[in-house]
Amino acid sequence: MHPVRPYQICTRCIMDTSDPLIEFNSAGICNHCRGYEHQKQTMVWDEETRETRLQALVGAIRNSGKKHEFDCLIGVSGGVDSTYVAYQVKKLGLRPLAVHMDNGWNSELAVSNIKKTLDTLEIPLDTEVLDWEEFKDLQLAFLKASTPDSEIPTDHAITAVLMQRARQHGIKYVIMGSNVSSEAIMPSSWSNGIRDWKYIKSVHARFGTVPLRSFPRFTLLQFIFSRTVYGLRWVNILDSIDYDKARAMKVIEDELGWVYYGGKHYESIYTRFFQSYILPRKFGYDKRRAHLSTLVMSGTITREGALKAMEEPICEEGLLRQDKQYVIKKLGLTEAEFEELMARAPRTIADYPAYENTLLLRVLRACYRLPRTLKAALSKASPGGAA
């Protein structure tokens, strides 16, 4: 456990000491603001070269799929980012295959948003349905493990399914909805291990009861293999365009009939409940703080606006009660069992076997980041020189 420290909030964004690892400089500005700027500099394409680079990228993607039915893969959840990716790739003239992963927690809005989007844009869909008895067991295992990473199994499985479908259809590009302008800030202590099969496996080995036979997975080696030997590319397209979330929402509402569901990732009932009930009550933080901080940094809202938004209830009380009942019932728990899980002392990934805790991974990660770090350092040394 991290030692309790006096409350402090960043003077620039609204991140605070609910991230136990946050650091502030002498001006009271936090490491996340600096991290945001670093990401913006290294990952978001600048305005002058954007168009040329985008055309080159689109050309490469088209070229890679010449002999196939599809030239890229997109994941769809019914949420803003993935819906806007679908809209963009069609606008860029690409031939995408959409993949949806059903983990048993879809809301009606999620499925109807997916249907409207894909029907309007004429994008074919493929769905992977997770075996509910297995997945339920895995979700329960993470609740029992008492780490804040209960959403990791879903994210891991999505990545695995995308890798699998890409190979099946000979696709070399996966177009992702991740983006700096609305997602750059997320404390590492708040969520860990998306690509860490060793972690997921070890948590399940310790707390699970049903064997994971069909759960989509990949090892670190398989991931490296898919990038190096197979040549799979993961493209964050929203960083290559001028992405403004509010504007994007307006576009998909008007043109696709998409409907908003009230909070980041709230298109999944479990995510909605996990983020608005379990995380704040058990782990003491509110993910909206990171989302809003990112929007402050990207200039989408003011710091005052973000602080005001934090005063709003995280989820409507009636809906939260309804979700709680549904989650408890669907996971096959009793009220008392659920409360016992809530009362367990919080733990972290460090308490379980994981790639994350091995020296090998740290070395590999440093090597992987080296070119980007060098490039950033160079462009800082001679502005304009490395563009």
CB of 35 to other proteins, least distance (A): 37
Q: Does the protein bind other proteins through residue 168 (CB under 8 A)? A: no
Q: Out of 16, 131, 155, 244, name the contact with other proteins by CB under 8 A.
A: 131
CB of 361 to other proteins, least distance (A): 34
Cα–Cα distance measured from residue 228 to residue 142, given in angstroms and rounded to the nearest whole number: 31
Give Cα separations from 135 to 141, 178, 335 (angstroms).
10, 24, 20
Q: Does the protein bind other proteins through residue 42 (CB under 8 A)? A: no
The phi, psi pair for 195, rounded to 5°, reads: -100, 15
**Which residues inside 320-339 make contact with other proteins, applying CB under 8 A?**
326, 329-330
Q: Does the protein bind other proteins through residue 316 (CB under 8 A)? A: no
Q: Does the protein bind other proteins through residue 164 (CB under 8 A)? A: no
- Check if the beta carbon of residue 116 is closer than 8 Å to that of residue 256: yes
Q: Which of 80, 15, 13, 77 is nearest to 262 (CA)?
A: 80
- Strand ranges across the sheet with 173-176: 125-129, 96-102, 72-75, 173-176, 233-236
- Give the range of 101-109, 219-227, 277-285, 338-346 binding other proteins by CB under 8 A: 101-109
- Give the range of 8-16, 128-136, 340-348, 363-371 binding other proteins by CB under 8 A: 128-136
Cα–Cα distance measured from residue 60 to residue 57, given in angstroms and rounded to the nearest whole number: 5
Q: Out of 126, 244, 253, 337, name the contact with other proteins by CB under 8 A.
A: 126
Q: Out of 37, 46, 63, 129, name the contact with other proteins by CB under 8 A.
A: 129
Q: Out of 12, 32, 100, 245, name the contact with other proteins by CB under 8 A.
A: 100
Q: Which residues bind other proteins (CB under 8 A)?
A: 100, 102, 104-108, 111-112, 114-115, 118, 124-127, 129-133, 326, 329-330
